[in-house]
C-alpha cells in the first residue's frame, strides 16, 4: 500500500528510468500493439451507483442536484429531499447480489468481442475496484467486492483483453450544483470525501474554464490512474473528454509515460483512448463517441457507442437500437481502419438486461459466420463505395442511413479480399463498381461466407456483377473475392 506522496515518488522514478519521457516528442514513439490493431470489436460496461436509481441516464448524480431537471424532481418525489437522501445514500442499495463475472465474460465471448472495458470510476467518484487511495470504492462499500478484479479474472479465463475507463477528471465539477441549495453536498469538503471537490461548473466544453483544477486534485487524479495501472494492469485505458482541459496536460503526459513504461516492463502493448485533441496524433488512439469517420484513416481509431439510444447505463425503459444497425456500423468502421466498442448497462443487481443480451448474441451470431472478414482485417485500397454518405464526427450514429445494395465496404483479412454489402434485403444481384475489369483485378471466384450459393458472377467495365438467391436477411452479406 502506497501513500499519495510515495506513489508520486514512484511515478517519477518509473518515468525517469523507462523508455518514455513525459514529453509529447517522446510519447510520439508510441505504436498501437498488434492485439489492438487486430481487434475490431470490444465491449464497454457502464455499471455503478447510477444503476440503482436507473432513471434518466448515467449522469444522474449530477442532474439530481440541478434544480428544475426531471432527475431533480424525480429524486425528491421518489427518495425525498437531497439534504435527507443524497447520492451517497444509494451506495448501500448497490449490493450487486446477482453479479457473476463468469456469466458476463461468457456472454461477451459469445458476442464475438475481443476486449472489454468496464468503467473503473465514473464521474460520480465511486471506484469499482479495490483502492488504497479512497474508502469510496466497491471493495469497501456497496457490494463490498473487488468488481474489477473479479471481472479481470473471468476475462482472462475467456481470452478477452481486460481494459478500463476512468472518468475521474470530470469529478472536479460533477457534483458542484449540490452546493447551490440545501443538500448533503456542503463545505467543508476535503480530499478523501466522496463529493470532494464539487466545484462550480462552467461550460464543460470550455477547456480554459475556471475555476481551474488545483494541483491537489490533479495529483489525486494522476495517483488514482497509476494505482489502477499497477494493481490491475489494464491493456487499455479510456478517458472521457475533459482531459483536454488546459490544466490537465502535464499530468496527462506523466500518466502516458508511466503507463507506457509499465507496459514495457510487462512485455505487452497497451492503448490509451482519448477524444478530440487531448493527445497529439500518434501519441495514443483517438476515439469518436457515438460517431465515426467519413473516410478511411491511415492510423487506427475507435468508435464507442451504446446499445440504447437514451443512456449508457441501465434505466427502466431503455430504448434499444437494432443489432442490424450496429453490425452495419461495425462493418463501416472496420473498413476504415477503426474498431467498435459497444456499451452495455447491467442492472444494479448485476444482471444484464434481456435487451442488451439479445443485441450482443445477434452480433455474435453474425460474427460467427462472417468474422473472417472482420477479425484482423486491414484496409483495401478502396474502403467503400455507394451513395450513402457517413456524416463525420461525434453524436452522428443517430442519423438516418438508408443503406442500399450499392453500399459496399471492403476489407482484407487472411490474404483474402472481402466485399460486404450493407443492405441486400430483397435483392438478388449487386454490381461492385470498384471491381470492374478496367481496374485490372481478375476475379476467378466469388462465394458468400454464409454458405448461400452464388449462382454466377461476371466482370465487365461497369463492375463485378454477382447473382445469388433473393436476400431476406437485413444484416450485411459478405462475399469472399478470389
pLDDT at residue 473 greater than cutoff 90: yes
How far, in Å, are 6, 352, 369, 449 from residue 470 at the CA level? Answer: 67, 36, 19, 16
Q: Per-residue confidence at 397, pLDDT binned at 50, 70, 90?
A: confident
pLDDT at residue 400 greater than cutoff 80: no
Q: 176-212 as b/e, with b when 16 or more CB fall inside 10 Å?
A: bbbbeeebbbeeebeeebbbbbbbebeeeeebebeee
352 and 410 both lie in a single domain = no
314 and 194 both lie in a single domain = yes
From 373, 399, 431, give the residue that closes a domain. Answer: 373
Looking at the whole model, is its pTM more than 0.85?
A: yes
Q: 326-361 as b/e, with b when 16 or more CB fall inside 10 Å?
A: bbbbbbbbbbbbbbbbbbbbbbbebbbbebbbebbe
401 and 369 both lie in a single domain = no
pLDDT at 100: 98
The tens digit of pLDDT for each residue in 274-331 reads: 999 999 999 999 999 999 999 999 999 999 999 999 999 999 989 999 999 999 999 9
262 and 132 both lie in a single domain = yes
Cα dihedral 304/374/296/340 (nearest 10):
0
User: Whats the size of the chain, residue-wise?
Assistant: 482
Find out whether 133 and 143 touch, Cβ atoms under 8 Å: no
| Mean of pLDDT values over 115-133 | 98
pLDDT at 393: 85
**Distance in angstroms (rounded) separating the CA atoms of residues 53 and 122:** 15
Instruction: Look at residue 292 and give its three-state secondary structure.
Output: strand
Q: Backbone phi, then psi, for 128, in 5-degree steps?
A: -90, 30
180 and 245 both lie in a single domain = yes
325 and 391 both lie in a single domain = no
Q: Backbone phi, then psi, for 308, in 5-degree steps?
A: -110, 145
Q: Per-residue confidence at 398, pLDDT binned at 50, 70, 90?
A: confident
pLDDT at 4: 83
332 and 401 both lie in a single domain = no
Q: Per-residue confidence at 373, pLDDT binned at 50, 70, 90?
A: very high
pLDDT at residue 129 greater than cutoff 60: yes
What total of structural domains would you count in the chain?
2
pLDDT at 8: 93
Cβ count near 225 (within 10 Å): 25
Find out whether 278 and 252 touch, Cβ atoms under 8 Å: yes
> Is residue 378, in this structure, part of any structural domain at all?
no
473 and 444 both lie in a single domain = yes
322 and 223 both lie in a single domain = yes
**Distance in angstroms (rounded) separating the CA atoms of residues 167 and 119:** 8
Identify the CA nearest to 88 among candidates 64, 54, 56: 64
Question: If you average pLDDT over every residue of the chain, what do you get?
Answer: 96
> Within the chain, what is the greatest distance between any pair of CA atoms?
77
> Is residue 445, in this structure, part of any structural domain at all?
yes
pLDDT at residue 247 greater than cutoff 60: yes
Q: Backbone phi, then psi, for 262, in 5-degree steps?
A: -60, -40
Instruction: Look at residue 376 and give its three-state secondary structure.
Output: coil
pLDDT above 70 as % of the chain: 100
Question: Which residues, 6+ apart, have CB-to-CB distance to 480 below 8 Å?
Answer: 372, 373, 416, 417, 418, 445, 446, 447, 448, 449
297 and 423 both lie in a single domain = no
310 and 440 both lie in a single domain = no
From 336, 354, 373, give the residue that closes a domain. Answer: 373
Q: Per-residue confidence at 395, pLDDT binned at 50, 70, 90?
A: confident
419 and 447 both lie in a single domain = yes
pLDDT at 282: 97
The tens digit of pLDDT for each residue in 43-74 reads: 999 999 999 999 999 999 999 999 999 999 99
Question: Is the Cα torsion angle 244, 37, 449, 117 positive or negative in sign?
Answer: negative
> Is residue 379, in this structure, part of any structural domain at all?
no
From 323, 353, 373, give the residue that closes a domain. Answer: 373
Q: Per-residue confidence at 2, pLDDT binned at 50, 70, 90?
A: low
Question: Domain holding 170: CATH number?
Answer: 3.20.20.80
Range of the domain at 418: 384-481
Q: Per-residue confidence at 356, pLDDT binned at 50, 70, 90?
A: very high
Find out whether 278 and 244 touch, Cβ atoms under 8 Å: yes
Question: Is residue 119 packed enough to be buried (19+ CB in 10 Å), middle (13-18) or exposed (0-12)?
Answer: buried
pLDDT at 401: 85
Question: Domain holding 460: CATH number?
Answer: 2.60.40.1180
Amino acid at each position: 500500500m502506497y501513500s499519495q506522496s510515495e506513489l508520486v515518488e514512484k511515478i517519477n522514478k518509473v518515468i525517469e528510468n523507462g523508455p518514455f519521457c513525459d514529453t509529447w516528442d517522446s510519447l510520439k514513439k508510441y505504436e498501437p500493439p498488434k492485439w489492438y490493431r487486430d481487434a475490431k470489436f470490444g465491449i464497454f460496461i457502464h455499471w455503478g451507483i447510477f444503476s440503482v436509481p436507473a432513471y434518466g441516464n448515467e449522469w444522474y448524480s449530477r442532474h439530481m442536484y440541478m434544480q428544475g431537471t426531471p432527475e431533480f424532481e424525480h429524486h425528491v418525489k421518489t427518495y425525498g429531499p437531497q439534504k435527507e437522501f443524497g447520492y451517497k445514500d444509494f451506495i448501500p442499495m448497490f449490493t450487486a447480489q446477482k453479479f457473476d463475472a463468469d456469466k458476463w465474460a461468457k456472454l461477451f465471448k459469445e458476442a464475438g468481442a475481443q476486449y472489454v472495458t468496464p468503467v473503473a470510476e465514473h464521474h460520480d467518484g465511486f471506484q469499482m475496484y479495490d483502492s488504497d487511495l479512497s474508502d469510496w470504492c466497491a471493495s469497501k462499500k456497496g457490494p463490498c467486492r473487488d468488481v474489477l478484479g473479479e471481472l479481470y479474472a473471468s476475462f482472462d479465463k475467456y481470452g478477452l483483453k481486460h481494459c478500463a475507463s476512468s472518468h475521474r477528471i470530470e469529478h472536479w465539477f460533477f457534483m458542484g450544483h449540490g452546493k447551490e441549495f440545501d443538500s448533503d453536498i456542503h463545505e467543508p469538503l476535503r480530499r478523501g470525501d466522496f463529493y470532494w471537490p464539487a466545484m462550480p461548473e462552467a461550460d464543460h466544453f470550455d477547456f480554459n474554464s475556471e475555476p481551474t483544477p488545483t494541483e491537489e486534485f490533479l495529483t489525486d487524479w494522476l495517483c488514482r490512474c497509476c494505482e489502477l495501472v499497477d494493481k490491475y494492469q489494464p491493456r487499455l485505458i479510456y478517458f472521457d473528454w475533459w482531459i483536454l482541459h488546459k490544466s490537465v496536460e502535464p499530468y496527462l503526459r506523466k500518466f502516458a509515460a508511466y503507463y507506457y513504461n509499465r507496459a514495457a516492463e510487462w512485455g505487452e502493448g497497451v492503448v490509451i483512448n482519448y477524444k478530440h485533441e487531448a493527445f497529439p496524433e500518434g501519441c495514443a488512439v483517438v476515439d469518436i463517441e457515438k460517431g465515426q469517420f467519413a473516410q478511411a484513416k491511415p492510423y487506427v481509431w475507435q468508435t464507442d457507442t451504446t446499445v440504447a439510444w437514451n443512456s449508457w447505463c441501465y434505466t427502466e425503459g431503455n430504448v434499444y437500437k437494432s443489432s442490424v444497425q450496429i453490425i452495419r456500423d461495425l462493418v463501416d468502421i472496420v473498413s476504415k481502419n477503426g474498431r467498435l466498442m459497444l456499451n452495455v448497462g447491467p442492472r444494479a443487481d448485476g444482471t444484464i438486461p434481456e435487451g442488451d443480451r439479445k443485441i450482443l448474441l445477434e452480433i455474435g451470431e453474425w460474427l460467427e459466420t462472417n468474422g473472417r472478414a472482420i477479425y484482423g482485417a486491414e484496409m483495401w485500397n478502396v474502403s467503400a463505395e455507394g451513395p450513402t454518405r457517413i456524416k463525420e464526427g461525434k453524436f452522428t450514429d443517430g442519423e438516418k442511413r438508408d443503406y442500399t445494395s450499392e453500399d459496399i465496404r471492403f476489407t482484407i483479412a487472411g490474404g483474402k479480399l472481402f466485399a460486404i454489402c450493407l443492405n441486400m434485403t430483397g435483392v438478388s444481384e449487386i454490381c461492385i463498381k470498384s471491381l470492374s475489369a478496367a481496374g485490372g483485378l481478375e476475379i476467378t471466384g466469388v462465394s458468400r461466407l454464409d454458405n448461400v450459393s452464388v449462382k454466377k458472377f461476371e466482370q465487365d467495365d461497369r463492375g463485378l456483377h454477382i447473382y445469388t438467391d433473393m436476400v431476406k436477411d437485413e444484416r450485411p452479406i459478405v462475399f469472399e473475392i478470389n
